[in-house]
Each structure stands twice: as C-alpha cells, then as structure tokens.
Chain A
C-alpha cells in the first residue's frame, strides 16, 4: 500500500496526476469494501482517510501484551477519563485499545442534548474495534416503515440484498449456525463456535418456557477455520487490539490488502475531506477538496465516481459542507432530509445474574462472542400494544475467579488459593433495540464555529423518545423473566439511562428512499440528484433494525459499487 505518501498539491503535479477513476472517502467498514470492489473491477481508486495509517499486524502495539505488560494493567487513568469525558463513557474502550479511538479533543462537536459520538479515525476506522456481530436483516425490517407508515419506505427488500449478504459473507468469514429463524435469515457461515454448558441450559429453559423466543450463537466475523489465507481465530478474545493472527475481519486485514493486491489502490491517510466539488455545468461531482490533517494545506482530487464512506455522521457533515449554487443546503439535499432521522440502538437495559449450577463444567479458550436472543416482539404471533418494532439481547456467560466461601479466611494462604479458584457462573444480558427514525433527531452545522480543518462544527441534537422508553420497560420485564426461568439468582436488572450514541451504531441522516422529494439516496445508494456520488455507510439507513449494522453496510456497499461500475460502463455516470 502506498499509504505513507503525502498527497502533493495539484499545482505541483498537475490535474492529471490528481485524477482517478474512483474516490472513496473513508477506509473503515464500508470504505474498505468500496475500495476492494473498485480495485478488483479495474478502477484506479483513491482512498482518502482522515486518520493515521495503520498497517495490519505491524501497527497493533498491544496485541500480544499480557495484563502485567500493559501500562496501568490495561485500565484507563483518571487523567485520561478527565480529558475524554465522552469517549470514556464507552465500556469497550480500555487501556489496551484506546489508541484506536479518536480522543474527545481531536474532533470537537456541539451537543444540543447529550450525545456520545464515539469515533475511530485511522486507516481501518472502526473495523479494527467493532463487535463483529453480523446478523442479517430480514423483510421484517425492510418492510416495517411502509407497514406502519413511519418515515419513508425502504427502496429495497431482503431479496435485493440477500445475494450481496452472501457475497460479502463469503469474503468476510462469518462463524455461525444456520438456525432457520425468519428474523435472522441464514447466510454463508463458517462453523459456529460452541455453546458452553450454561448457554445450553439457557437455550433450553428459554425456548421451553417462552415459545417464539430463541437463543443462538451470535453470527460473528471471527474465523473459526483458516479462511482466504487470512489465518484463524486463536480464541484470545483480544480482538479490539488488532489481531496479529488475522482472526477477525477488518479493513486492515482483509479488504484493503485485497484492494492493494490489484495494483489499483492509492491510499492517503491524514487526508480530511472538506467537501465534494460540484460541477454546475456537468451537473455532477468533479471530485473532492481535501485538507492535510497536519499541514492544513488544501488540495483537490478528481474522479468519475465518489463514494462517501466517512462514517454516518462524518459523511453527512461533509455533504452538508458541500455547498454550491445548485445545492445551497448541502450536496443532494433537495429533500431537506440531509442531516435528519439520526438513529442509534438502545442499549439501555443491562441484566446481570449468578447461577449456582454446573459447577463441574468449565470451558477452554476465550470465545470472542456471546449468544443472541433475536427479536421476538411484534412478529409471528406476538403483538405489542404500546410500542412498535422490537429488540434483541446479547448474552454473555462466564466463570471467573471466585472460589471463596462464607467461612473462608479473608486474608492469607487459603484466601489466595481459593480466591484463585473458579467461582460460580455469571451471566450478563444487554439490550439491542431498534430506534425509530425521527425527523428532529438531527445533525446540523454550526453557523459560527469551525474545527481545526476549517470545517463547521457539527451540532448533534438527538434523543430517545416515547417508543424507545416503552420498549425499555418491556425489555426490563422480559430479560428478568428469562433469567428467572433459567434459574438464576441475584438478578440485577436496570435501565442504565446511558447517553444516546454509546452503541456506536449511528444510522440515518442521508436516508435511502423511493422518492427524491423525501429521501437523499436511491435504491443503489446513489444521491438522487448527483448520480456519481454514492453514500453507503450508516448514513444511508432508512430505519435502524436492531441488528449490529456493519454486515448490512458491507452488503449495501458491494451492491452499490457493482451498480456504479455498471453505470460507468454504460457511460451513465
């Protein structure tokens, strides 16, 4: 990869040297896919990444560190927490992976209401630190808006995306079981990871006591067998540090190397895209304006097609900042919907509990995933009167240190020895709930404040509303009743009232739709009024589902890139 190069100024090298077939803005989950698809289809492709370069394996400094080798034993310091009050609300951030997250000071924004915008600015983006859960959507999700008269209809259905889910799964490498459940259609899976004894017990108890509810191993983008020459999962459960064994899918381990192998990829890190340049005469995008993250020098790049994959909110920021006399309110914003309908999954319900059984069973290895109770509300025979849509639970079971009993001494040899023995089984359950799209959950641009790169500051104004609160009350009840049915004790269940944003599943703000008057993108993620600009990250989402969204972004991106190349060949772009 040529990622160490600094982009030269246009004046220095001439416009031709700044011209590519395709420009992809962002190198994360969806940008990596756009790059791979274009490069493999023979397009000279420029990937622009605002963050630093991160080379697979070489730039994973903590990947092999043990707890005693990490600064502060891998915990974040009080000073770090003070300096990053937003980032450190995120449970997934720790001392061993914080170098893969953008610090609060790096990209300030305004909050009308508290919003935790968690960012990962580097080559690979959040694909380095993602949760790797990859359930497909179904028509239960794609048809929901139309069925209920919410927002606008998706312009696609499951049948449109199903072959593209398969296409990306065959490259990503997803471990999973074919469970035959309609709300999580089966895909192209590597062997599933095993249940432990408590998972099996919970599955049995829940499925027997609550018809319509299921517990399955989560489909997860960890390689349960050697795949595509990328290695195999070693069951260390240290994925978010970057995997030196190539055990999970990331842009760095998979799509970007595939793109680079074609010889068609140019990748510039430290390149902040300021805006898309609109050619008023040709009525199409000419290219992009880029600010060097360090020198602040501006330059331009040109291409026949531009893919915007900067990450939901960042993508919309740069579209809103792309103004022209044709588009005074942001590129492609004829509908006035650009920036609106921001969604995020509701992860507010947490349950923890202890089980006294199965003391003679343990496990070997650290499974890097959990089990899933997929959606069961408002589907099949279930109808809820007081909320729309549904939710799932992520379930994690484990046994830690904790062999001490009530009569054991509180210090000394027995305290140490028994304290190191395996304790009872613990279980945690976390909600993953759909949020409806609301017009007034939105991002706008500050009128008077700009950031270090001359971009207007983002203003985020979003919150949960009545449907989410009602669903939260139901999740408190159903998680507790399932834990009780499975024989747990010390069940603690609460609404953590966490700040919206912490699921890191920002979606919407440039939604797909059938009608240019009410949506920003068409059925192929193409800006309605600027056909050579595509947006295929989370910004395109018309509703949010409850599923971890990355696999859907990947499928949408591969499909959009295929369409873009077809249109290029037909000279339609």
Chain B
C-alpha cells in the first residue's frame, strides 16, 4: 500500500470485506473551518512538536483527516465523527467550567484527551480522531521525514544494518 494503511481505517476494513453500504457519495465540506482548527489543536496534543520534529498542527493533519472522513467513511461513521466533535467540546465544558477546547491550556488539553483515551469504554469518536490524526501525521511530510526517517531514493539495499535503541523507523 502506498501509505501503508490499507484496510486499517474504520470503514475501509468493512469495505474491503465487501460490506460497504450503498450510501450516496459523501457530501463535500462535512467539516467546517472551525472544525479543522479544532482537529489540528487536538492533533497537536496527541502528536506535539518536539525538539526533532514538527507536530500535528505544523503538519496540518486536519486537512488530511477531513479528506479521510469524506473519502473513506460511510455515512454512519461520518455522523459519529462530526457528532464527536460536539461531544468533545461538551466534555471540555463539563470538565473545565464551561471552557471549550481552544480555551484550555496545553496541560488541560492533555488531561482532557488522556481522560478520553483511558475511559472504559473509550468513546468511538475519540478513537476515530486519534486514529486519523496518527495516520495523517505519519503520512505527512513532517511526520514521514522528521518524526520518522525517510529516504526517497535509497539507491541500494543493505540487508543487515546495526542500529542503536531508539532508531527511527523508515517511512515508505
């Protein structure tokens, strides 16, 4: 697979199994500009800028996530995802006395998302956001070339190379 995630996306797996519903083509513009801002900021908390590599915001994961929601999800999944952004804001207001996600400090954002991540059961919308953010990030130029190691044209194959612990994986 070109981007290395064939069949790993919600929905895509079912489509592979031939169970795709006959839903009409997903409408364009499922997510608003404000949604994209929110997704980049949620993404940045999950995959922040670090010393060696830009984070999800710099990689603009929101644009790719929106494309995946539009292009890969079926209608039910799209509805779960968009409703999930509303639920995320509600969770933020509930936990931080009425403040929405963008009004939170970095530490508060981390606490909110960590709570969702560790909730049992983990909310489906959160699982979707996290999965798409990770996919979008590691297939972005920043994720693939800064966070991971990338050589577009290796020019040779060395079968056995010694590496120290902590070596970055090659991106495709």
Contacts and interface: CB of A to CB of B under 8 A. Distances in A.
Interface of A: 64, 66-68, 70, 72-79, 81-82, 85, 88-89, 91, 94-97, 193-197, 199-200, 234-238, 359-367, 399-403, 409-413, 415-417, 419-423
A197 to B, nearest CB: 5
Interface in B73-121: 73-74, 110, 113-114, 117-118
B2 A70 contact: yes
Contacts of A238: 2
A75 B2 CA distance: 7
23 contacts: A68-B140, A75-B1, A75-B72, A78-B12, A78-B73, A94-B2, A96-B2, A194-B159, A234-B153, A236-B153, A360-B162, A363-B157, A363-B159, A402-B169, A411-B47, A411-B114, A411-B117, A412-B46, A416-B53, A420-B148, A422-B163, A422-B168, A423-B169
Contacts of B12: 75, 78
A416 B48 contact: yes
B167 interface: yes
B4 interface: yes
A46 to B, nearest CB: 36
B147 interface: yes
Chain B contact residues (Cβ within 8 angstroms of A): what range?
35 or more
A91 B15 contact: no
Contacts of A359: 165
Interface of B: 1-6, 9, 11-12, 15-16, 18, 20, 22, 25-26, 45-48, 50, 52-53, 55, 64, 67-68, 71-74, 110, 113-114, 117-118, 130, 134-141, 143-144, 147-148, 150-172
A413 B158 CA distance: 31
A342 B15 CA distance: 29
A365 B144 contact: no
B143 to A, nearest CB: 8
B50 A416 contact: yes
B1 to A, nearest CB: 5
B46 A234 contact: no
Contacts of B46: 411-412, 415-416
Contacts of A420: 53, 138, 143, 147-148, 168-169
Contact of B110 (A64, A75, A193, A411): A411
Contact of B11 (A78, A85, A88, A364): A78
